[in-house]
Structure 1
Amino acid sequence: MNRRILVAALALALAGSAAAADMFNGRDFSGWELRTEPAAAIDSVFSVQPGGVIAASGSPLGFLATKASYRNYKLHVEWRWPGKTGNGGVLLHISEGPLDRVWPLSQQVQTKFGAVGDLLPMAGASFAEPLTGDKPALKAHIAPSSEKPAGEWNAADIVSRDGVIEVTVNGVLQNRISGAAPREGRIGFQLEGTPYELRAVTVTPLD
């Protein structure tokens, strides 16, 4: 292959490569829907702050979810507790099915302080690895805690490909599962009683 053809092929490959897309538009919550108990309006629970930061009130209990469905992707999420630390989670592969109280069929990546990186199959979801504990049953994170204290930003990179999910928190691999079911669906964020903030939430297709 001569130099000209090689350069052209490289240009085509770069043009076709997937790019990270912002999941929040920085203005409103178009493309998202809220499910809470009792029912609440999105704008009464989530707000857009300067710099594109998303502030969540933490209550009522429930979750914010994309209207779009995703399969085989890298999700980047940054979050912090602006006040006291608390409980929360990123929901992957939200699908139709029976609820566990207000929680949907999904895979949860735990952002609860002290348990960041734990993985929980929610409302009938499953994966191949054994669970520990009872309430809730989960697969605990595999490395020493890499989360940061209240007021500081944490970053999670979550890669989902063909039923394998890997979770890296602040640069440290914290969990890995295989055989996830469901392995595709919507993406969401839990409300579990504590205010938190989000920023730099992006998704990169891997297919």
Structure 2
Amino acid sequence: MSLASNFFSISLLVLVLSSCTEPTQPLFNGKDLSGWHVDVPAKDSLKDAPSSFIVREGNLVSLGEPRGHLITDKIYKNYRLNIEYRFTKEPGNCGILVHASTPRALYGMFPKSMEVQMEHENAGDFWCIQMDITTEDMILRRGPKNEWGVVEGKARRIKNLTEGSEHALGEWNSMTIECFEDKIKVWVNGDFVNYGYNADETSGQIAIQAEGTEVVFKTLDLTSISKLTD
């Protein structure tokens, strides 16, 4: 094969591979909250309540209070979400909600969704919010079956698979969430920490919580996928 033919073949292969790769879409532009809207119940009665979500030094910040959610305007299906986050001041709580829909469906606060927990030392847990999912070892990880449920007072937490996957408080953590059809997979700092299937919902909005503690996000990138990572 001539040098020119070899070069053409390599170029064609690169072009084919490139065409098979879905582009990554940043959900946060580093400047403002375009593409998102806020649902903070306290603002119903206190119109001058402080903002729960701000942009600081090019990062998205959940201030923790007043409590509520930052929700994408768009609905997403079959995607990989890559996140970088850290707790800045003290250990606390936050979460990413996938397949979000009906607002304030639980406790007058949380939209119907599946929460992927970010709470310090519990990152990767599932919390069922008016929708359910199945995992392996459900009784071990969720408790007695007669207590399971998706509403107030029921066992909605499904524990993750690992211990010690998070970095030290104040350091950046990475989280990857893959949602494909009725399946959800989660990694924290490269560790595979949760997998669920038979989810009640397969698409919806994505939401970030303000749940009492300041959390900074520097990456929120979404890529469409045609299958889950093996």
Quick check: TM above 0.5?
Answer: yes
Measured in 1, the distance between the counterparts of 2:205 and 2:49 equals 17
Name the SS for the 2:216 alignment partner.
strand
Aligned residues: 204
In structure 1, runs of 5+ residues without a counterpart are none
- Call closer, same or farther: CA 1:176–1:111 in 2, change over 3 Å: same
Tell me if 1:49 matches 2:53: no
Q: What is the match of residue 132 of structure 1?
A: 142
**Amino acid corresponding to residue 159 of structure 2 in structure 1:** A
Name the SS for the 2:75 alignment partner.
coil
- Call closer, same or farther: CA 1:73–1:80 in 2, change over 3 Å: same
**Amino acid corresponding to residue 22 of structure 1 in structure 2:** P
Measured in 2, the distance between the counterparts of 1:8 and 1:183 equals 36
Q: Give the TM-score normalised by the residue count of structure 1.
A: 0.89
Tell me if 1:36 matches 2:40: yes
Measured in 2, the distance between the counterparts of 1:48 and 1:104 equals 23
**Amino acid corresponding to residue 36 of structure 1 in structure 2:** V
Deviation at 1:203, TM superposition (A): 0.3
Deviation at 1:8, TM superposition (A): 3.0
Deviation at 1:27, TM superposition (A): 1.2
From the CA coordinates, give the structure whose radius of gyration is larger: 2
Indicate the structure with greater strand content: 1
Deviation at 1:162, TM superposition (A): 1.1
Tell me if 1:189 matches 2:208: yes
Deviation at 1:145, TM superposition (A): 2.4
Measured in 1, the distance between the counterparts of 2:202 and 2:114 equals 9
2:178 to 152, 159, 164: 159
Measured in 1, the distance between the counterparts of 2:50 and 2:34 equals 11
Measured in 1, the distance between the counterparts of 2:104 and 2:38 equals 17
- Call closer, same or farther: CA 1:49–1:69 in 2, change over 3 Å: same
| Aligned residues of 2:52 and 2:67 also touching (Cα < 8 A) | no
Measured in 2, the distance between the counterparts of 1:192 and 1:53 equals 18
Measured in 2, the distance between the counterparts of 1:43 and 1:8 equals 54
**Amino acid corresponding to residue 121 of structure 1 in structure 2:** C
Q: What is the match of residue 109 of structure 1?
A: 116
Name the SS for the 1:121 alignment partner.
strand
Q: What is the match of residue 88 of structure 1?
A: 94
| Aligned residues of 1:87 and 1:194 also touching (Cα < 8 A) | yes
Identity within the alignment, %: 27
1:22 to 26, 45, 50: 26
Range with bigger deviation, 95-104 or 57-66: 95-104
Measured in 1, the distance between the counterparts of 2:20 and 2:189 equals 29
Tell me if 1:67 matches 2:73: yes
Q: Deviations over 1:21-51 (max 9, x none)?
A: 111111111110111121268982222122x
Name the SS for the 1:99 alignment partner.
coil
Deviation at 1:181, TM superposition (A): 1.6
Deviation at 1:65, TM superposition (A): 0.7
Name the SS for the 1:8 alignment partner.
helix
